[in-house]
Structure 1
């Protein structure tokens, strides 16, 4: 079995790495190649290009590298069409993958898109592009297949692989022991994102918020997990924010940091869902280039941005977006969680319900769907 695959950014690499476990269980001699990251490579994936090549922060940054991305997509498409794998699986990154999938599908290759674009949140017109690009869509959330069916797009709900990978019972004590943290210490996970653009635009205010937290609670510990290849950039941001005494950097180990934490201060994205699956109260913050913000705010269909709020259809955790994301606001909302244990217990209960909803043995369910597409 040969598959072409593309995963953009750390979150896509994580999802694809988990998916590959199911693929290899079905096809032990699986060969997969394309664009991917370290989680995929650890599963035997041949990365012709690293997934960080697709890591851009909003429209403004995408415009600056548009020509390079188009050239990369063309070269990758040429290579896949020359090798003609059994199928192509695009993991998220719809702005890159859907165009590639359309070309491959037109040339007779089976195409599967893993992670339904957020047509329920904004840019609903992409459903028509999705119909022209993918033979089948693997959906992470239960309400998505019905939406796609209205547009004639075949789809399957396979659950979220993170819900399988993250234990229902949070291993808090073990995580704290592994990180050298005491049981009675107050710990805040600081997670400003894993893209370079996020480190530039979001991390400074997160780091200043950490300074305010340490001033308010001198014994508090702020841990920031650093994605591979970003340590020098993060260290520079910490120094510029004067947060050397406020923040402790941890290489990777983001799941251990979340499991060990009392509250997570997190950039909007997949990490918010990870925090929810670890049953952690959180404060979501995000900022994009002003041009991106003008575009996005006029195209939103619902008031929520963070995945825990979207799935709960309620503001169960605070969202601080754009100008509202200030160090003072981030610190204030974080302290509000720390001062309200009853609210933390309630949110843990809601997140446990969400965990059961998303736990579906995703790797096996997705592999079954992929096998049917290939056989058809």
Structure 2
């Protein structure tokens, strides 16, 4: 197969002038500052001697943590950025969907922007007229085509921009994380269209944080690392390498499992006091707040006995974060329900642990409460409500729900 995109020893850095005012407000405030401290400018090395090639008709995923240069690669391919060093060769008509509404003019109507954006992507007016009905039909916002796009929601922007971009009939399609915007039905429609382009052997470069999609649709994956270098290989190999590095990075963050809290999140007599809580993967001994669906989680709790308490009940609760205005209460458990009571040893620090077996929650952020009560479960010693933070990654196909349920179909 022919190489249609080729990077050879490409480097790209961005420079921040720390002393430059970014707004009129900062300029005016600067006039009245008595002590003007000169700050050093900074350079961010995003790409560092990067080389790779992409062959015609393949789909390549680009993954990495935020700020590692994923979008920069797409912007260099689409000629928005020029490399500082190295050479880039691109062969074929490129259609890019990099940022929502780039190329749109806020005061123009949806219809006018279709012609504007289409011309930016290389279509003639006649070609746009021929494709216009299909573009509008795909976007599903036909009733708003005569409305200025400044009144559009971000989802409407994305629908129209994506619709124009895919109707250009490009040789190379560049897609950034914009598919995260919009409702689930339209996201699926967009993915179906990308699948159609794959079957037509179009070249696709796809940036996404959805590792399940990357595994499913990509032939190869570029993994951008923090030092500006890359790894290139099969989807499974690159995704596993990325997850491994994320775990290591998570282990290096101190106190990464504690959420910012206020007094309303902790109550009790403190006769027994929770001193520390850690979450560990018992399989590899990794202490972290990042786990994969169906992992076991070993919870280790250090308890200070301030009042010579003999017995106590230890428990936990899990809440899904970021759904509606309040976290969603998912599950709880305590040792009393399993016929056990925590035996304390005088006025000493006691270290105890329990294992949450095969965590069933799908990808998302979760809050965990850890609680200590008396043996009747009525008197709180130390109740830490939604005090700890966990993040779950799901390695299998993500579903629009919170809990994974195992099922055997007997047919």
- The alignment's TM-score, normalised by the length of structure 1, stands at 0.28
More strand by share: 2
Structure with the higher helix share, 1 or 2 = 1
Query: Normalising by structure 2, what TM-score?
Result: 0.27
Rg comparison, structure with higher value:
2
